[in-house]
Amino acid sequence: MTDRSSATTPPTHDTHDLERIVALAARDADLDPTVADAARAQVTACRACRDLLADVVALSAAVPDAAIPARPRDYTLTEADALRLRPGGWRRLLGFVGSARDGFTRPLAIGLTTIGLAGLLVATLPGALGGLAIGSGGAAALSTVGSAISPAAPSHEAGSIAASAAPALPAPASAAAPAASGEPPRDAAGEGGTFSGAGDGTTSQRADQPSDLAAEAAIGEDATGMSVLAVLAGAILIVGLGLFGLRWTARRLGDG
């Protein structure tokens, strides 16, 4: 206990940082040395701070001795309780997922999430990956092929190709519609690449096979214009994240 008689309380006590004193009383191991020194100086100079330090130490020691009521009942479980509480069905599954014995769902969740993220990256960054993506993919690849066949083809021919393909092509409507109206069609990435055919018969050969074109485009995009790869990757990512969520929930339930 501190000597209460020899200290004085300066009028500035109200401005003293009392939490600093409490931290000093707690003997925090990670208490900043400068803060600790300041607190000690405060305690030395101010009687009220010294009293506070002594009181907080005394109270901390007294807390474990606080009166507690007697336990009012016995908490042992009856057979009926056990029957009611025994996990069955999905709870049993959840219990397994959260347990340490489950060495399967974590790697699976990591794998699915990684594949999903990678798939989304591939689908959304086709240029960066050299057009490997089917994704925006589908139309972009086709436009690349078309350009390679005839870089100098007149644009009105492209319109005719698109127009003839349009009835069989519900998916890339955004690309086909402007082409049919004579405007240069845009690829799915919106880069304005033209879909041009050759005037030496290649065009008619392609135009004669609209079903091939439709099939290729269908691989690349669904009715909403989204890449199949992106949809698939998104679904895998969701499943992976869902597994993480399931594990987290199971572990939370495990801790009550």
Partner 1 sequence: MLDSPRLTSASIAVRRDPPIVEDLRSTTVPDDPVQRRDLILIERARTGDLDAFNDLVRLYQDSLFALVVRMVPDRDQASDAVQEAFFSAFRNLASFRGGSVKSWLNRICVNAAMDTQRLRKRRPSQPYPEFEDESWQPKAGDDVDPERIAVDAERSRAIAAAMTRITGDQRTAIVLYDVEGYDYSEIAEMTGVSLGTVKSRIHRGRLSLRDILAERMELFRG
- Residue numbers of the site for partner 1 (CB under 8 A)? 1, 18-19, 22-23, 25-26, 28, 52, 54-56, 58-60, 62-77, 79, 81-82, 85-87, 91-92, 95-96, 98-101, 250-251, 253-256
C-alpha to C-alpha distance for 223 and 114, rounded to whole angstroms: 27
Neighbour count for residue 148 (Cβ, 10 Å):
8
C-alpha to C-alpha distance for 38 and 247, rounded to whole angstroms: 47
Least distance in angstroms from the C-beta of 97 to partner 1: 9
Least distance in angstroms from the C-beta of 53 to partner 1: 10
Pick the closer one to partner 1 by CB: 14 or 65.
65
Least distance in angstroms from the C-beta of 29 to partner 1: 9
Whose CA is closest to 173, among 211, 123, 223, 227? 223
Least distance in angstroms from the C-beta of 8 to partner 1: 19
> Which ranges of 125-198 does DSSP label H, i.e. alpha helix?
137-149, 155-165, 173-180
Pick the closer one to partner 1 by CB: 1 or 223.
1
Pick the closer one to partner 1 by CB: 92 or 128.
92
Look-up of token digits 């020899």: 6
Phi/psi for 56 (5° steps) reads -65, -40
Least distance in angstroms from the C-beta of 243 to partner 1: 16
Pick the closer one to partner 1 by CB: 82 or 148.
82
